Chain A
């Protein structure tokens, strides 16, 4: 069985984001990049299926993005994927969700993937579109936001997480795509031997194609309007402690 995981490499969300004047995306130099958090759950879920099926399964990991994305792919290989496809696109971070889905679709449509995992959303965009769009383009069934997943005899059983933490139980048959929510499993850390082994696994780099036209025009990107203005308590530790104790006292939160 052919299994696919789509992953995106995103900036560390703790970064200081700087947008160049008139720019439509933030400056990437000096930022740290990592696998989109949601996609780590997708990789782990896929690796677990592969481990269960043994040699009968082949797990491909794919990422569309600039050169740096190959690092994310290497980590996924070290977590247990068999091979990687890098859709090289220096402009990747600025592409619409629809363009990303179309490009992935044109790269994978003839490869016969029966089970596809994506994250529920990307941390930088938060669009929650690419997975479902890819499934619709492929004409296969899909469900989003799984916090439970099991796969038995061609059947997927899962739990979708709804607002308030309610869980809806769903079933569907392969071929299918599922999008993974935080907490679906405990993503593994690659071990040193597996990092070494991953270096020998195949990584194919393809020029991106088939993205089509953008559907959204970005007119502006920048800091959001300041809503609250939290007062900063900075300086030396004991002064900070004294200030917080005073605030708690003034507000009768401590005796």
Chain B
């Protein structure tokens, strides 16, 4: 079996997740060929052939054409990308052009069955693709990174640019208010707080514990708190001694930012909330009652 692994270049750097693509290929027992498109001098450490196309990092039409040319050349059984902003943008274009089955956000593989999360991780589906080429995007963190070894044999390919959507630049990150990445304790509020005023309950508990205030994405998107407080794959990655997740369901993108915390205590009225995957404790309660009660007890 042969797998074409498509890495991604962001701001001139090859994403470290290439090692996870290699890890997935290892799980599949596949021989590997790599492809990276963009202007970067980084090279992944592996022993196979690597196609490199210098040019813009994001150019859907051009990247599709370049990847299809490599697929034509190599005739792989699998095309593998991360389930990332780059991967989920390119994968369907390749799958459709190749009339291939696409499987999104794969979390595991066993005995011919691809495992996929479903309904915010509350269910899992096991699927088999139709015969022929399969395009797979894998969930970040689901497959252990392969230990880096070797240097690839490089082959340059052309990227024809000019047509279609254009990347014009990057928006600099706004100055951050807090830096949660160094916090020792964090109390986070999620959509379960219900309304912006209730954020005060989270702030009060954080005060009583000497903790910083974190938040899940919907709380930030609703404008209830500044973006610097967001924890997750598109926010801060945190590793505190204590992480309290109040009214946070535990979507995979939130878990990505906090699962390395030492002690995780969730407060949720749903005892089956997926936050239970990483938490040591779930307090099954209405946070509007439990959080102020805990604050009062701590202030004693």
Partner of A215, one of B129, B170, B293: B129
* B153 in the interface (beta carbon within 8 A): no
* A16 in the interface (beta carbon within 8 A): yes
Smallest CB–CB gap between B247 and chain A, Å? 11
* A202 in the interface (beta carbon within 8 A): no
Q: What CA separation (Å) do A245 and B230 show in the bound complex?
A: 26
Identify which of B24-32, B47-55, B111-119, B143-151 touches chain A.
B111-119
* A136 in the interface (beta carbon within 8 A): yes
Q: What CA separation (Å) do A166 and B10 show in the bound complex?
A: 9
Judging by beta carbons under 8 Å apart, are B103 and A13 in contact? no
Known A182-B221, A215-B102, A221-B118; judge A230-B281 contact (CB<8 A): yes
Judging by beta carbons under 8 Å apart, are B170 and A169 in contact? yes
The chain B residue with its CB closest to the CB of A19 is B123
Partner of A126, one of B105, B270, B285: B105
Cβ of A226: which chain B residues have Cβ within 8 Å of it?
277
Judging by beta carbons under 8 Å apart, are A162 and B85 in contact? yes
Smallest CB–CB gap between A25 and chain B, Å? 9
The chain A residue with its CB closest to the CB of B168 is A169
* B297 in the interface (beta carbon within 8 A): yes
Known A129-B102, A230-B279; judge A163-B233 contact (CB<8 A): yes
Judging by beta carbons under 8 Å apart, are A141 and B165 in contact? yes
Cβ of A11: which chain B residues have Cβ within 8 Å of it?
119
Known A137-B96, A168-B170, A247-B265; judge A228-B88 contact (CB<8 A): no
Binding site secondary structure of chain B:
mixed
Q: How many A-B residue pairs have CB under 8 A?
A: 250
Partner of B104, one of A127, A159, A176: A127
Judging by beta carbons under 8 Å apart, are A245 and B167 in contact? no
Cβ of B177: which chain A residues have Cβ within 8 Å of it?
none
Cβ of A9: which chain B residues have Cβ within 8 Å of it?
none
Known A215-B130, A237-B289; judge A128-B104 contact (CB<8 A): yes
Starting from the known contacts A214-B130, A240-B283, 15 additional A-B residue pairs (CB-CB under 8 Å) come to: A15-B119, A26-B119, A124-B118, A129-B91, A133-B96, A165-B173, A167-B171, A170-B168, A176-B165, A183-B221, A219-B127, A224-B123, A227-B278, A230-B276, A245-B297
Chain B residues proximal to chain A, CB less than 8 Å: 10-11, 15, 57-58, 60-61, 83-86, 88-89, 91-93, 95-97, 100-105, 113, 116-130, 137, 140, 164-171, 173, 185, 209, 217-218, 220-223, 227, 230, 233-235, 241-242, 249, 263, 265-266, 270-272, 275-285, 289-290, 293-294, 297-298
Chain A residues proximal to chain B, CB less than 8 Å: 11, 13-17, 19, 26, 97-98, 120-121, 123-129, 132-133, 136-137, 141-145, 148, 159-172, 176, 182-183, 186, 213-234, 237-238, 240-242, 244-245, 247-248, 251, 253-254
